[in-house]
């Protein structure tokens, strides 16, 4: 009986210690994630501006189809977890489309962002490329966004 009470106390204390450690682990994880996002936010915005400017400069030398092709060409070099370069590439395409020459029929058949949710136009187009689907759809979402406006 005495041994059972002592064992019970030890088990309770072990559970309490592990509970405290789990809570501390979660708190440290949340703080780390928040601080990473805060640090990368300002720097990321600067990179996005630079990428969009580079796209704008490139766009002055090509047409809208050339912007998408260049975005896909750059996208082929990216890996699935290259998040920042993917976003920079999308900003490049955005800047390019805004300054490029018009391509006849460029927006024909391109759905709005809302309708794309239902018909996956971007994913169907990406099946025709050899670019990783999330990277490709990010580029084509820029085309959808451009054609909406």
DSSP string, 68-89: HHHHHHHHHT--TT-HHHHHHH
pTM: 0.68
Count other C-beta atoms under 10 Å from residue 69's C-beta. 13
Mapped onto helix, strand or coil, the DSSP state of residue 63 is strand
pLDDT of 13 over the 60 cut: yes
Mean pLDDT to the nearest integer, 1-15: 82
State the pLDDT at residue 37.
62
Task: Read off the pLDDT of residues 39-94 as tens digits, 9 standing for 90 and up.
Answer: 555 555 666 788 899 999 999 999 999 999 999 999 999 988 888 899 999 999 99
Strand extents, DSSP E, 9-147: none
Closest CA to 132 of 69, 73, 80, 74: 80
Query: Around 39, how many Cα atoms within 13 Å sit in the side-chain half-sphere?
Result: 6
């Amino acid at each position: 009986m005495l041994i059972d009470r002592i064992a019970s106390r030890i088990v309770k204390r072990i559970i309490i210690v592990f509970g405290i450690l789990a809570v501390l682990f979660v708190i440290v994880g949340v703080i780390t994630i928040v601080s990473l996002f805060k640090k990368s936010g300002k720097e990321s915005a600067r990179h996005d501006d630079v990428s969009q400017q580079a796209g704008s400069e490139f766009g002055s030398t090509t047409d809208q189809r050339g912007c998408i092709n260049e975005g896909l060409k750059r996208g082929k070099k990216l890996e699935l977890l290259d998040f920042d370069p993917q976003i920079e590439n999308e900003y490049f395409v955005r800047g390019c489309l805004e300054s490029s020459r018009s391509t006849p029929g460029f927006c024909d058949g391109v759905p709005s962002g809302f309708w794309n949710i239902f018909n996956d136009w971007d994913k169907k187009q990406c099946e025709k490329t050899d670019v990783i689907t999330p990277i490709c759809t990010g580029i084509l979402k820029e085309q959808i966004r451009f054609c909406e406006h």
